[in-house]
Structure 1
Amino acid sequence: MAATEFAPKHLLAAATAVATIATLGSLYLSLGLGLIPCELCWYQRILMYPLVVILGVSTLESRVEAFKMVLPLSVLGLGVAAYHSYIQLVPDFTAGCSFGPGATGCTSVQFKVAVFTVPNLSLIAFILITGLVAVAAVRR
């Protein structure tokens, strides 16, 4: 194995780290900062949270076959996050959505990290997870 190549287990570990950081970040935004997630944010959370457990167990047990469970969740999450990022860029595309009492629309930007909104960060996380797990599956 060349110095630039990573074993599938290392790729799964990296994907686990990304999913864990994304999950902890979303929990901090809602529980720590009191931001209310919109409906699309909830869908992204529903697709991200199980990835921490699936990828974590797969990493510990060196089960690259987990890609069969991970990729459907991560690709679907990637699609939702891409759509959410798009409607924030083009707010006239939709009237927005809301979820629960006091929720803001999906097109509103409640929080930014540098130039990235929360949906942009989610999109990056899903892209990384999908890519890392796909490469691990190919190298198995």
Structure 2
Amino acid sequence: MSASDTSAHAFSSWCLLLAAWLLALVATLSALFIGEVMGQAPCNLCWFQRAFMFPLVIILAVASYRSDFAVWRYALPVASVGGFIALYHSLLYAGVFGDSIQPCGAGGSCSGSNMTIFGVVPLPVLSLIIFSLISALLLIIFRRSSQ
């Protein structure tokens, strides 16, 4: 691989890393806006998802600044656990587990109609999408860094 190919490869990997950071940043700022500005208290499962999304903002920002393409080693587990919690929450929200389990019974509630994006996408599903996109970007960075 020539020097220009290596440079282009590193730049495209950095762009992927920046995109992952921007996704985490927008998700974090949105969660803070919903909670602090709109006054909607998150349910317990939303709190757990926040606990995994918020650190990703810092981890991915530092990795972007340092062009650390090995970030997948420590960011992918964080994003994956957050994604599994979001998947569980989405399945609860969809009623897959039945009526005996209330997805938003403790703490606030994200099951109201005002807790959807464009009246269609519920917040737990949106969280699952964001965690999945971040994980996919980190996996692409991993594949590129291992070549």
TM over 0.5: yes
4+ residue segments displaced more than 4 Å: none
Amino acid at match of 1:10: C
Deviation of the 1:137 alpha carbon: 1.1
Alignment of 1:29 onto 2:39: no
Contact 2:82 2:131 in 1 (8 A): yes
Give a deviation string over 1:87-109, Cα, whole Å, max 9, x none: 11117254225444xx33x6x23
Higher mean C-alpha deviation, range 67-76 or range 109-118: 109-118
Alignment of 1:129 onto 2:134: yes
Question: Structure 1, unaligned stretches of length 5 or more?
Answer: none
1:10-21 to structure 2, matched below 5 A, reads 10-21=15-26
Amino acid at match of 2:131: F
Q: Give the alignment's Cα RMSD to 1 decimal.
A: 1.8
Distance 2:142 2:64 in 1: 13
| Residue number in structure 2 paired with 1:95 | 101
Question: Structure 2, unaligned stretches of length 5 or more?
Answer: none
Distance 1:133 1:86 in 2: 24
Amino acid at match of 1:66: V
Change (3 A) 1:49 1:94: farther
Largest Rg, 1 or 2: 2
Contact 1:8 1:137 in 2 (8 A): no
Percentage of identical aligned residues: 36
TM-score under structure 2 length normalisation: 0.83
Contact 2:20 2:138 in 1 (8 A): yes
| Residue number in structure 1 paired with 2:77 | 72
